[in-house]
Chain A
Amino acid sequence: MKHKSWHLDRRDLLKGGGIAIALPFLNGMGSGLKKAMGSIRNAAGESEQPKRMLVSYFAYGAYMPESPSGVPRSTGRTDDKEHNPWSWWPCKDAGPLSFNESSSPFKPLKDDISYLRGLDHAGGWKLGGHSSGDVFATGADMIGAEKTNNISIDQVAAQLHGHKTRYSSLVLGTEGGTGSYGSCKTLSHRGPGRPIPSLHKPQEIFNRLFNPYTGKGVEQVRAGLKRDASILDLVLEHSRSFKHRLGSEDQGKVDEYLDSIRALEQRVERTSKWTHQPLPDVATKGLNLEVSHKEPEEYIRCMYDLIYLAFQTDSTRFATLMLESEQSSNSEMWNYATYVLGYKGATHDIAHKRPVDYSGQWDQWRAKQHAYFLQRLRDTPEGDGNMLDRTVVLWGSAHPHASHSTKNYPIQLAGGSHLGVKHGHLHEFVGEKKVPLANLFVSMLNAVDVPVEKFADSTGPMTELVQ
């Protein structure tokens, strides 16, 4: 591999921006440094330790030869059949985790992950296999009562805690934009019918995160923002009067516009506030920000690296990453498996044909990329533990094995040991034990200090994972 993935050189990081930079909780780095940094504070000047969350999605489901739904057919009866080494599920039965070939990249992370079998969003059932990814992070009942998508789990958390960091959330995808109803290119929605476009170009993401002033001085930026705020206000008035001249059918769109300007005003205010905090000085060395989709491993790792850096500098605490989508035929993502495994067909076809060799290798490859990210978090000390201990990471897809099915998603939860999450098991939610996936969302939100009792169609928290 030509470009080495990004390796954090802590000394590099501390150069330039100096000790005052928003490098949180480097307790593990030795007492000398700790002294130099004075008391450990985050960028907002609070002394609480961050609680973070990432939702990461992969498309097309995964290989689960147990049955089309991924749930073993034989319930209760113990037969002597071995667990398939290439099944996405790491082991055959509910209980303590052991790892097969497909899940082997997670072996070193055994005590930090859980697998959850039999979960899904009822809201996605009728969406069809090409579209159920739309509601992966929202659980919205798009076909039924709600008619449209709704707020996603990361945005619920961002609404409450987003003000504590420079960016309330980070929304990434591999294809970019919002996509459309039935073929979303983002996991995040700030409310009904309000998707947040995902960013997909590493260079742009890096610049927006760590170089938002595009070379201007802080004073200049602040003056510009002050100007923006006063003028956007005038633009808003200008637009309001315009609205009343329109036909009734067109006024809804102008409301969408007015909401956006208001949100932009808030953002200007927020950005302005944050100019009083120095930007973290993050070196690009070793980060291949020009990587393209044609190098999927480099590209995906780069996206994960960017999330890692955003978390590590406490630039944001909530992120989503739509790694692939079911509707990617217009992008190079369509060819992932071709580039990576030499598969002679569209990547999507693996989901239909499930050839044993390619399916397993593909799943394992995807596991490797995700494990890389988890490992990086775990290797970074923070407080009395590591970053993974304070980050809840959901990883999964909106289909099981059968390509068009919308039930029984592959779901893995990682991290958050210091946020009250218990790990190390495969849990099964079938038959009478079946609960909505949204129950897990309630517990994830609770873990990051969002005291909700309900999310989408949830029926309660997921007690199995609570310490």
Chain B
Amino acid sequence: MIRWILVALLLPLVWQCQLNVSEAATVDDGYEAHVRPFFKAHCIKCHGPDKSKGELTLHTLDGDLGSGQGIERWEVVLEAIESGAMPPEDEPQPNQAERKAVVDWINSGLRAYVEKASSEAPAETARRLTNFEYENTMRDLLGIDLNLIEYLPQDPVKPYHFNNTAEFMLLGPEQIDRYLEVARRALASAIVDLEKPETLKTRQDWDSGESNKGFAKKLNRNEIAIHNSRRGTPGQGMGVKEFPMTGEFRIRIQASAVFPNGGSELPLRFVMGYNLNINSSTQEVVPVGVVHLRNSPDDPKIYELRGRIENFPVQKGRVHRGKLQPDRLTITPQNIYDDGTLNDENQFLYWPRQPDMPRAVVDWIEFEAPVNEIWPPKHHARILFDSPLRQSDPGNYIRQVLTRFMSRAYRRPAMAEEVSRFVEIYNLLKPQLGTVEATMRETLAMLLVTPQFLLHTKADGKFIGHEFELASALSYFLWGSMPDGRLYELAVSGELNDAEVIAEQVKRMLADPRSEDFVSNFTHQWLSLSKMKTVPINRDLYPRFLYYVEAGERAGTEKPYIPTIRDYMMDETIGFVRELIRRNASVTNLVDSDFAMLNQPLAAHYGIEGVEGQRLRPVEIKAEHHLGGLLTHGSVLIGNGTGSAPHPIYRAVWLREAILGDEVKAPPAEVPALSDSAGDSAEQALSIKDLLAKHRTVESCNDCHVRLDPWGIPFEQYNAIGKYQRFVPKEGTRVRGFDRKRDNDLPGYAKYRDGINTQEVLAESRVPHGPEVDGMDQLKAHLLASRKHDIAENVIRRLLAYGIGRQLNYRDRYEVENLVSQSSKDDFLLQDMIVAICQSSTFRERTGNERKRDN
């Protein structure tokens, strides 16, 4: 059979038909009766020997699905015919019965093959931890939160793909080399030397006298205005010269806030690292945290922040006049109050141009490190625990220490022979390294480069119970980290592999703050969000969207190290998905919702009143806000724009990939590029609709773009910075850039904007296999009415693929189908969906070897 197929591949169509006919006796009747005629009538013209559109040919598929030959292609065919995507709309259409006959025939064959194949070798799932998982695992294993990712080689990122698969998570000597370095670094912090170190303290006080330095004329010496770092005020930061290399630190401040003209909460952020006053563009700092000030100077309060000193960049001492200066850390408080008007009304954010804006008052800052309320610290005692054995039977003690640590690091009970190996390593190292602490650090560092720690694997059940694998599968899915004590106990007791218990655990895990890592990591990759941070915003058109350095050699570049609305937009999207899961809301909310996750700057950007403060919260929205769902999120709209204009193709690709779940192929080699995609500069306005229409007149472009462009047109109602727009520049006009002198204030900017945007935006489009929609509201209505099922299936597929750490293939088709139909019963509730995925057999699957044994 196989040989015949190979021959057939090489022969012209006529010959091949004869071969197929001669074989007909061995082939299911349905193929000859329904499928082959259908292909001949509707498919072969474009997907045959003459043309292979979409790189798909059907004439070489034979009628025996049981052979597994071309099975992926059969799945593609099934989907295209079932969904009605094929044949194309402008071609003669088969009737319903014809369509159904073909769909049924493929379905039955495919299902039989999937059942047969899944008892055989399954897909590879062994992979190393992603850097994200590695850092989280180290945090939970060692009990200290260290930034480790920056010391590892970058993990690959691919738009709309999850990187937690075997294909992406390659291992090489460089990776292992870094693991060893990082493990040593982390253990140097986790295991301390026995002598308790002295706590070093630095403190600085500011009085309330009037400052008289430059811009800060009317600012008191203990006050910080917005984005202000005047000399002599706390905004300039406090230098710390005495601090340890490792350990926990504590920052305490006495602070309050002044609200001259309303407002009730001032976020005061602390960053630590280099001194930002030297040249902030090349200085490095890391945020410590934010305190929200609500108290007035009459009622000063003390606030406290903690962190690990290892996570902050130390400014190396330089040689000054022949003397080496000490290393330094600078703690800089930043007044990041933002009511959304700052950029509109205050070109210069410096005091005293904004006398009405809230100011922070900082009386003193105190820094202490290392802070050790108990000694030795908890994270140390967790590894080198207190025990009389330590003195009475050191050999046994070491074995116990290693058994405990290894059982946690390997996420399952350590085996005696594994422990013995590391006892051997310990004993080898001990004479060279001297103390128990030093030897244990090095021994455990080596333990953390073994494959049992670094890899996700499926062990043959003879050796290790599946329950532990299931515990890990759950914890890496929902926390991006190792199982906690509860999951581990359930695995030990053998209770975990039960639908009820899984449901209970999933709910518990989603309520745990660690699930925020899951939501953020999953959503970033699913929606391909990160590019929004790098899209260059056209400052001529949107002068007030970001904060720019006003003067000096770096004038015109973005201000570093202050949170901007782009950061808040990222929070908005992650927060929205998190809120939907928390509420167990329907997947339909992804398309449209009656609330948005906003804070004050975001609300001001989108034009919603009455939202105060920096904290993200659900806010009810109305039709006139043109918000709701993910499609109108600034993160999505900016990331899929050019920074000057919307980009209907990027947005269409995003909609199809992220929401509808289609795989949109990259443009093939040798196709001409779209000559101009909407406004490459502020200069020339172009009607995108006409441009796309022109593009589609070329057949090779049209094949793909006819199914793409119409989805992007309704998005034209949202501009390059994600705001709803009714008017756009007239086609062909020259658009003048914003004039800083003439259009300086808010009314001036409004006038400028109205001056260039004179044409009503065109957002009418007929979507493929759908109706005419005019704008975003109608597009959303169409998606909810006709595509809900596809959207739910997409979300299920994404969650499942992320959860099991591999790309789905034809074998998963029927499991997904089950999940979708189960979920459809209560309108696709998100939390229930996650529970069902964790209960599914695909998620709980075992190794191929074992299945074979059981069968």
Contacts and interface: CB of A to CB of B under 8 A. Distances in A.
Contacts of A334: 531, 534-536
B642 A404 contact: no
B823 to A, nearest CB: 29
B692 interface: no
B170 A344 contact: no
Contact of B680 (A127, A232, A250, A344): A344
A234 interface: yes
B452 A335 contact: no
Interface string B811-855: 000000000000000000000000000000000000111100000
Most buried by A among B171, B175, B418: B171
Interface stretch (B328-336, B370-378, B454-462): B454-462
A345 B680 contact: yes
B253 to A, nearest CB: 29
Nearest to A234: B425
Contacts of A290: 282, 284
Nearest to B274: A290
B538 A176 contact: no
Interface centre among B154, B168, B180, B530 (most CB of A within 10 A): B154
Nearest to B420: A238
Given A183-B158, A197-B174, A344-B538, A247 B849 contact: yes
Contacts of B850: 247
Given A180-B168, A197-B174, A344-B643, A231 B425 contact: yes
B126 A253 contact: yes
Contact of A230 (B154, B158, B428): B428
A68 interface: yes
Nearest to A244: B460
A465 interface: no
Given A253-B126, A352-B674, A353-B676, A235 B450 contact: yes
A212 to B, nearest CB: 11
Which of A179, A246, A294, A404 has most B Cβ within 10 Å?
A: A246
B172 A405 contact: no
Given A248-B849, A345-B642, A404-B667, A235 B446 contact: yes
Contact of B171 (A232, A253, A355, A406): A253
A335 B557 CA distance: 12
B177 interface: yes
A267 B177 contact: yes
Contact of A291 (B122, B174, B282, B538): B282
A250 B469 CA distance: 14
Nearest to B674: A352
Contacts of A331: 534
A177 B670 contact: no
Contacts of A238: 418, 421-422, 450
A127 B124 contact: no
Contacts of A330: 157, 530-531, 534
B493 interface: no
B432 interface: yes
A444 B425 CA distance: 47
Contact of A195 (B166, B170, B673): B170
Given A196-B174, A253-B126, A404 B668 contact: yes
Nearest to B157: A330
A185 B156 contact: yes
B669 A404 contact: yes
Given A245-B463, A249-B848, A253-B457, A344 B673 contact: no
Contacts of A344: 536, 538, 540, 643-644, 680-682
A292 B429 CA distance: 41
A252 interface: yes
B768 to A, nearest CB: 23
Contacts of A131: 666
B610 interface: no
A257 B171 contact: yes
B451 A257 contact: yes
Interface in B437-465: 442, 446, 449-452, 454-455, 457-460, 462-464
B14 interface: no
Contact of B155 (A177, A243, A329): A177
Interface in A206-244: 223, 227, 230-232, 234-235, 237-239, 241-243
Nearest to B463: A245
The interface centre, meaning the residue of A2, A251, A264 with most chain B CB atoms within 10 A of its CB, is A264
A251 B163 CA distance: 20
A257 B457 CA distance: 12
Contacts of B123: 249
A70 interface: no
B92 interface: no
A406 B670 CA distance: 7
A129 B176 CA distance: 33
A68 B424 contact: no
Contacts of B682: 344
Contacts of A83: none
B304 interface: no
A349 B681 CA distance: 11
Nearest to A261: B176
Interface centre among B454, B676, B680, B850 (most CB of A within 10 A): B680
A176 B121 CA distance: 35
Nearest to B417: A241
Interface string A237-281: 111011101111111111011001101100100000000000000
A193 to B, nearest CB: 7
A346 B720 CA distance: 13
B50 interface: no
B209 interface: no
Interface in A156-206: 175-183, 185, 190, 193-197, 200
A165 B670 CA distance: 43
Interface in B495-520: none
Nearest to B169: A253
A66 interface: no
Contact of B449 (A125, A177, A235): A235
A10 B285 CA distance: 35
A250 B642 contact: no
A352 B534 CA distance: 18
Interface in B86-140: 121-128
B594 interface: no
Given A180-B167, A247-B459, A227 B451 contact: no
Contacts of A355: 680
B553 interface: yes
A349 B680 contact: yes
Contacts of B154: 175-177, 185, 197, 200
B143 interface: no
B702 interface: no
Question: Which residue, A195, A227, A238, A243, has most C-beta atoms of chain B within 10 A?
Answer: A238
B173 interface: yes
A260 B457 contact: no
Contacts of B530: 330
B671 interface: yes
B563 interface: no
Contact of A345 (B455, B643, B674): B643
A128 interface: yes
Contacts of B429: 227, 231
B70 interface: no
A128 B666 CA distance: 8
A238 B166 CA distance: 22
A338 interface: yes
Interface of A: 2, 68, 125-132, 175-183, 185, 190, 193-197, 200, 223, 227, 230-232, 234-235, 237-239, 241-243, 245-254, 256-257, 260-261, 263-264, 267, 288, 290-292, 294-295, 327, 329-332, 334-335, 338, 343-346, 349, 351-353, 355, 402-407
Given A2-B553, A249-B121, A330-B531, 4 more contacts: A250-B126, A257-B171, A334-B534, A344-B644
9 contacts: A200-B154, A227-B432, A230-B428, A231-B429, A238-B421, A245-B464, A248-B847, A291-B282, A330-B534
